[in-house]
Amino acid sequence: MNLENLSENRCFGGWHKQYQHHSGVLNCAMRFAIFLPPQVASGQQVPVLYWLSGLTCTDENFMQKAGAQRIAAELGVAIVAPDTSPRGEDIANDEAYDLGQGAGFYVNATQAPWNSHYRMYDYIVDELPALIETHFPVNQQRAIAGHSMGGHGAMMIALRNPERYRSMSAFSPICNPINCPWGEKAFTAYLGDNRDTWAPYDTTVLLPNAQQPVVGLVDQGEADSFLATELNTDVLEGVVAQTGYPLEVRRQAGYDHSYYFIASFIEDHLRFHAQHLAA
């Protein structure tokens, strides 16, 4: 397994590091970032929060803008931020910001030309955690969170793999991708026209059928310009209310879709995850 260290920054007494590796699942080189809290210096194995970013993002957006390292350092939690799609000159792409590179939607594509590389679901669920747990001082207590497309990814993946995650959370998630323009465009391209194949990637479809719940927290800004058209937060609130699923959905007055929103509430999310990671 090749694992190349690309950068390293001391940060809040811990370390922010970027790595590149060859992904067998995605069939290309992939970059990710990891924050290791100061506790690892004393030989401690720490739990891991996986952060899935939104459209157009790389491993860098969350690490640079969310201000999460301060609290992760205090709580002794590692954070892993993968890229949002396979990347490279030889990888299928689209000129639009919401399809192709930077827009993997955390699914396993079945349609050409996407199906030769776009398998972000398997990458996030299996390959990346195996890599992290082999090469870094972490234990197998995992949490998963994300923003927008990554909020969809985090909840969908936790709902399908409840044995793998202690908790899940999301900012501004695409709650019901099979019924919004972003999701319909991406799922048509990656999965084809048969909507039956889309349902296993939709949080609001998965949640009412969940056998083993994963506790969750969602924050949604009420001034989010994508709220009315893309996010379908009300559909998520509806299935949570119907089922009693242990997911708290909070609406935050005045906040938008940006990292200024994430930064404002990331402390709540990290403390929420740490509480369940320690349980």
3-state DSSP assignment of residue 27: coil
Q: How far apart are CA 152 and CA 163, in angstroms?
A: 18
Query: Which of 19, 62, 187, 255: binder of its own copies (CB under 8 A)?
Result: 255
Residue 19 within binding range of its own copies, rule CB under 8 A: no
Cα of first residue to Cα of last residue in the chain, in angstroms, is: 33
Contacts with 109 (C-beta within 8 Å, 6 or more apart), sequence order: 115, 117, 118, 119, 189, 190, 191
Q: Report if residue 112 touches its own copies, rule: CB under 8 A.
A: no
Number of Cβ atoms within 10 Å of the Cβ of 260? 11
Give catalytic status of residue 147 as yes or no.
Answer: no
Cβ contacts of 4 within 8 Å, gap of 6 or more? 19, 20, 21
| 61-100 binders of its own copies (CB under 8 A) | 64-65, 67, 69-70
Q: Which residue has the tokens 């939690």?
A: 77
What amino acid occupies position 270?
L
**Binding test (CB under 8 A) with its own copies, winner from 110, 161, 197, 258:** 258
Q: What is the DSSP letter of 257?
A: S
Min CB(260)–its own copies separation in Å: 4
How far is residue 25 from each of residues 29, 80, 85, 121, measured CA to CA in Å? 10, 18, 12, 10
Near its own copies in 193-222, by CB under 8 A: 221
22 catalytic? Reply is no
Q: Please choose, out of 9-17, 117-125, 134-142, 159-167, the segment that lies near its own copies by the rule CB under 8 A.
A: 9-17
Closer CB to its own copies, 126 or 256, in the complex: 256
Q: Which stretch binds its own copies (CB under 8 A): 60-68, 133-141, 149-157, 186-194?
A: 60-68
Please say if 21 is a catalytic residue. no
Using rule CB under 8 A, residue 9 touches its own copies: yes
Q: Return the number of the residue (52 or 71) whose C-beta is nearest its own copies.
A: 71
- Provide the annotated active-site residues: 148, 224, 257
Q: Which residues bind its own copies (CB under 8 A)?
A: 9-13, 16, 64-65, 67, 69-70, 221, 223, 252, 254-256, 258-261, 263-264
